[in-house]
A and B are shown apart, each in its own frame.
Chain A
Amino acid sequence: MARLLDRGLEQLTVMVYKSGEIAKNAINLSISAFMNSKDVMDDVHDLSDVISSMTLEIENKAFELIVKYQPVASDLRIINSYMKIAYDFERYGRYAWDISFTHKKLGGLGECAVASDLMPKLVEKVSEMVSKSVKALREHDAELAKTLADTENEVDELYFSYLNQLSTARAQNKCVMCNLLVSRCLERIADHTTYVGEAIVYIATSEKISLR
């Protein structure tokens, strides 16, 4: 017979998965618009707001389950981790909005006279990490989550190489400023995917590891 807690856990799980999908969409929308010089700031802002509201709902639901059922062991690990993951998804949304805001104010990659090939690589890696984090969450796949660590190292390398490139650019124009800010957001998103990965590993194995 299903426990009363199971119904609540199912609801919480659906909410977290949904939040993850919306966060993934927000990031994909903002970075694709940035690469192709499209203004999507309002749309991404709306998505970011939805994720923030969902984070609050997830937190409330988690508290309700704790108060009602005093969960322990794997139940407690799931609830605790979902609260953390919901916050990370909120950050995904916020950084997606920051990217679209920066693009609107300073222009996208397409407007740069000489574009580096590092930015598309950074975008690709971060996009891959976001998708992977959401997939690992859906499947509670600790092994997939652990692979985020390697990609995160690659992102860091790309980010610092790009910073060096930008810092030696002759013209301190809007393009440089924009790319600095966007690459910083991408690097932070990559960090948050590893936090999500750590939480997934904790749910699946109870191991507390660092993926950074």
Chain B
Amino acid sequence: MKIPIWPRKSTDKAEEQTVEEAVLTSEKMQSINLNAWFSDKHVLKNITLPVKANSVTAIIGPSGCGKSTLIRCFNRMHELVPNSKMSGKVLLDGKNIYASDVDPVLIRRRVGMVFQKPNPFPTMSIYNNVAAGLKLTGAKKGRNLDEVVERSLKQATLWDEVKGDLKKSGTSISGGQQQRLCIARAISLKPEVILMDEPCSALDPIATAKIEELIVSLKRDYTVVIVTHNMQQAARVSDFTAFLYLGELMEYDGTDSIFEDPKNELTEKYITGKFG
């Protein structure tokens, strides 16, 4: 199989979305035979995974199994890494986000990302952290911007804690608050999907609980994909769970089934801590 190399400008008609694909994808997103490489290292192998709308999908697996790479392929961030490659498709509402006519910047707006470590813009106020994306795109101004900032902070359950301190630095608040600020920043752009890469790994249990409550509430309006090393967290917040091992999708099912009765022996061993 020929592996496309970035930047990829495919004119192959076979790469375009087919009617069958559109019908198949009642899911919000879906990867089809997705492969990814860092130089020669093959890190994702033929991943076909649905992401159902208005649900939380957890990606679990041992370190280095390709979890983060997978979600970075979901919003075309993988291609920003030098010497990275990918093949296969990722459908968003049935349309391949890697098709030649798709703008990756637009994809990243529709599919937002929250990272492991809270990363508010350090020189910006709380208000400007949320407003930054909107200002950059020129989408909102003045009163409209105030409304979006307030709504985003409310959705991120941070408004009540910071409404009197909007001019303070985004880094002046606690780690848990900073992570919710980053979620507010992602929400402000009205994404359809929110990807979260171990969003609680740097937080204490109280802050973690708040983020988990937030994740569950977010699925009313968004589709959420979360990468986590914490099995209990995956069990608590997600509706579906995918287990990756050495770059392969070993099992995907409802979270209850995965944690009560995994069908794959490796999944059983991993979630019960017998390896990993």
- A72-B259, A73-B261, A206-B261 in contact; A3/B273 too (CB < 8 A)? yes
B residues in contact with A75, CB < 8 Å: 272
State the Cβ distance, A35 to closest chain B Cβ, in Å. 44
A70 near B232 with CB under 8 A, answer yes
Is there contact, CB below 8 Å, between B259 and A3?
no
B contacts with A: majority SS: helix
Give the number of chain B interface residues (Cβ < 8 Å).
13
- A77 interface contact, C-beta 8 A: yes
A residues in contact with B231, CB < 8 Å? 70, 72
Chain A residues lying within 8 Å of B268, measured Cβ to Cβ, are 73-74
* B228 CB to nearest chain A CB (Å): 14
Is B262 close to A, CB under 8 A?
yes
A200 to nearest B CB, angstroms?
Answer: 15
Report the Cα distance A76→B232, complex, angstroms. Answer: 13
Whether A73 and B273, one on each chain, are in contact in the complex, defined by CB atoms closer than 8 angstroms, is no
Q: Does B235 contact A (CB under 8 A)?
A: yes
Name the residue on A nearest B268 (C-beta).
A73
Contact flags (1/0) for B246-276 with A, using CB distance below 8 Å? 0000000000000111100001100111100
**Measured between alpha carbons, how far is A5 from B260 in the docked complex, in Å?**
17
Given the known interface contacts A70-B232, A72-B235, A74-B268, the answer about A206 and B260 at a Cβ–Cβ threshold of 8 Å is yes
What is the bound-complex CA distance between A73 and B273, given in angstroms?
A: 11
Binary A-proximity of B210-254 (CB < 8 A = 1, otherwise 0):
000000000000000000000110010000000000000000000
A77 touches B260 (CB 8 A): yes
Asked whether any CB of chain B lies closer than 8 Å to the CB of A110, the reply is no
A208 to chain B, nearest CB (A): 10
Closest to B235 in A: A72
Interface residues of B (CB under 8 A from A): 231-232, 235, 259-262, 267-268, 271-274
21 A-B pairs in the complex with CB atoms less than 8 angstroms apart: A3-B272, A3-B273, A5-B272, A5-B273, A70-B231, A71-B272, A72-B235, A72-B260, A72-B271, A72-B272, A73-B259, A73-B261, A73-B262, A73-B267, A73-B268, A73-B271, A75-B272, A76-B259, A77-B261, A206-B260, A206-B261
- Which 5 pairs from chain A and chain B are nearest by CB? A206-B261, A72-B259, A70-B232, A73-B268, A72-B271
